[in-house]
Amino acid sequence: MNRMKLSVKLIAGFLSVAAIAAVIGMVGIYYINQITVADRQLYELDTVPIAKMGAIDTHFQEVRVLYRDFIAQKDEAKRKGYMDKVQELRAANNEAIKFLEPTMTGPDEKKLLDDMKGGLAAYRQAMDKVSSAVAAGKPEEANRVMAEEGAVAAHQLDEVIGKLVDMHIKDAEESARHNQSMAKMAITISIVLTIVGVLLAAGLGIFLTLMITRPVNRIVEGMTEGADQVAAASSQVSASSQHLAEGASEQASSLEETSASLEELSSMSKQNADNAGQAKAMMGEAKTVVDKANRQMSDLIEAIGEITRSSEETGKIIKTIDEIAFQTNLLALNAAVEAARAGEAGAGFAVVADEVRNLALRSAEAAKNTSNLIEKTIKAVHNGNQLTTATQEAFKANAEISGKVNQLVDEIATASEEQAHGVDQINTAVAEMDKVTQRTAANAEESASASEELNAQAMQMRGFVEELMAVVGGSGAASSSSPLVQAAAPAPRRRAAGDVARKPVIKALPPAGNKKRPKEVIPFGKDEEFKDF
């Protein structure tokens, strides 16, 4: 049932109430019909036959009078007129009896009717005798028959008719009683049915109302909450959008600074690249210098080798001199030995030999000194050679390092150029970023105003919800208003200069507080019944 549509629910409810009314009406109609039929029966079977019987009695009495007159009348024509009248009345009575025949329902009635018929027939026979007696010209006979047979028959007939009338009156009374009781029963049933129907309709109404108002109340609550939340959220969005806008403008200023720094950086990179190029050129010069120095070092090594060779040559010469000195020394010694052998004669020679030996010794000494010097020289040259080799190695290393430095400087130059290029690109990107940031700021402001509008719409929605609450729960339920929404509502509106002036949507809609009473929208009947829901 809960899943059914509202219209289905309402239609079903009202149809149920209509069905109840129809049942009540049908029952009433049925009973009224029954009473009508019974009434008609009362009329047709009881009242009309009484009248007819009265008519028969009257006709009979007329016939009796006519026959009396017939007897007394002498004029043939008048007699004939009486007879015609009698025939007429007899026909009327026959007709009335024919009418009465179907109305006689009970066996007693039928018997009485037969008796009446018999009485009429007997009277007719008596009257026929009277007629024939009159025709025969015997009025005494006729009077006698009239007084005897005719009176008996008439008396019988009167009795039968009286009985029949009584019987019919009794029947009519019974019928009337029956009808009364039936009417009472119909009234009772109608009252019961009406009460039941009213109760059912009221129950259905309550049930339906509950069915409808409960979910609507829930929805209203939810919508109120939702509207509040939307309002709060929109105010938050508004605040954050404003923050965002501020942040974006800060970012924009930062980006401008960044851009300026980047330009500096770019110029520095370019300068760096230039310097690196200069350094490269200088390194090239340094390389040529180092190469030159290297060549000169090679020359120096060659020169030192030359010196070494010369020193060795000199050393050889000195050695020769030393050998000569040694030999001279030996010779001098031999000479001294010889002089000693010669004794006194060799004394002078011994002196000479001694001098020679001294010279040889000095020679040897000088040679030794020279040799030492040369050795020192050679050592020094060797050291120099080593140093030169080391220097050459160092120069080679230097050259290598120069090459590497050259390469590095080259790379630095390339890198600096690339850096400058990259910085240019970054600059472009930063400009783009700046644009984007400006746009973001504008968008943020727009979104702030949009969220304010959203807030207003949430408020409006809240108004609608209140209206709905008023509709559902009466005027008392719609008075509460969230302070959050009210607090969020008067947020200041800031728009970017280039922002498209937006028509506030709220103006296009009817004001939230319009004065439509809920009762006017859905007339629920008595308010008291639904205040509880």
Partner 1 sequence: MEAMVTVAREGKYLTFSLAGEEYGIGILKVKEIIGMMTITRIPQAPPDMRGVINLRGKVIPVVDLRLRFGLEEGQYTEKTCIIVVEVARAGAKQQIGIIVDSVSEVLNIRGGDIENTPDFGSRLDTRFILGLAKLGSGVKILLDIDRVLGNEDFSAQIPTEEQGNRDIEKEMGI
Residues in contact with partner 1 by the rule CB under 8 A: 322-323, 326-327, 329-330, 333-334, 336-337, 340-341, 350, 353-354, 357
Q: Nearer Cβ to partner 1, position 105 or 334?
A: 334
**Best CA proximity match to 227, nearest among 474, 488, 450:** 488
- Distances from the Cα of 453 to the Cα of 245, 247, 402, 443, angstroms: 17, 22, 72, 15
User: Which string of DSSP letters, residue by residue, matches 163-179?
Assistant: HHHHHHHHHHHHHHHHH
Spatial contact of 322 and 336, defined as CB atoms under 8 Å apart: no
Q: Nearer Cβ to partner 1, position 206 or 340?
A: 340
User: Which string of DSSP letters, residue by residue, matches 230-272?
Assistant: HHHHHHHHHHHHHHHHHHHHHHHHHHHHHHHHHHHHHHHHHHH
Spatial contact of 142 and 71, defined as CB atoms under 8 Å apart: yes
Minimum CB distance to partner 1, residue 375 (Å): 15
Between CA 409 and CA 402 the distance in angstroms is 10
Minimum CB distance to partner 1, residue 323 (Å): 7
Burial per residue of 434-458, b for 16 or more beta-carbon CB atoms within 10 angstroms, e otherwise: bebbbebbbbbbbbbbbbbbbbbbb
DSSP state of 417: H
Please give the angle made by the CA atoms of 14, 18 and 20, to the nearest 5 degrees. Answer: 115
> Which two tokens mark 295?
């060549």
> Which two tokens mark 96?
């009335």
Q: Nearer Cβ to partner 1, position 4 or 347?
A: 347
Q: Nearer Cβ to partner 1, position 293 or 333?
A: 333
Q: Nearer Cβ to partner 1, position 137 or 343?
A: 343
Minimum CB distance to partner 1, residue 325 (Å): 11
> Which two tokens mark 528?
């008291």
Q: Nearer Cβ to partner 1, position 196 or 347?
A: 347
Minimum CB distance to partner 1, residue 356 (Å): 12
Q: Nearer Cβ to partner 1, position 74 or 341?
A: 341
- Alpha carbon 55 to its chain centroid, in Å, reads 91
Residue whose entry in the numeric block shows the structure tokens 């509202």: 6
Minimum CB distance to partner 1, residue 349 (Å): 12
Q: Nearer Cβ to partner 1, position 83 or 317?
A: 317
Q: Nearer Cβ to partner 1, position 353 or 374?
A: 353
Between CA 236 and CA 240 the distance in angstroms is 6
Minimum CB distance to partner 1, residue 333 (Å): 5
Between CA 39 and CA 353 the distance in angstroms is 208
Minimum CB distance to partner 1, residue 339 (Å): 9
Name the 3-class secondary structure at 88.
Answer: helix
Q: Which amino acid is at 56?
A: I
Between CA 302 and CA 308 the distance in angstroms is 10
* Residues 6+ positions from 232 with CB-CB distance below 8 Å: 484, 485, 488
Minimum CB distance to partner 1, residue 336 (Å): 4
Q: What is the number of alpha carbons within 13 Å of residue 226 lying toward its C-beta?
A: 12
> Which two tokens mark 324?
């000569």
Spatial contact of 36 and 99, defined as CB atoms under 8 Å apart: no
Minimum CB distance to partner 1, residue 311 (Å): 19
Between CA 239 and CA 489 the distance in angstroms is 12
Q: Which amino acid is at 409?
A: V
Q: Nearer Cβ to partner 1, position 341 or 503?
A: 341
Q: Nearer Cβ to partner 1, position 53 or 360?
A: 360
**Best CA proximity match to 109, nearest among 121, 124, 97, 120:** 97
Q: Nearer Cβ to partner 1, position 341 or 526?
A: 341
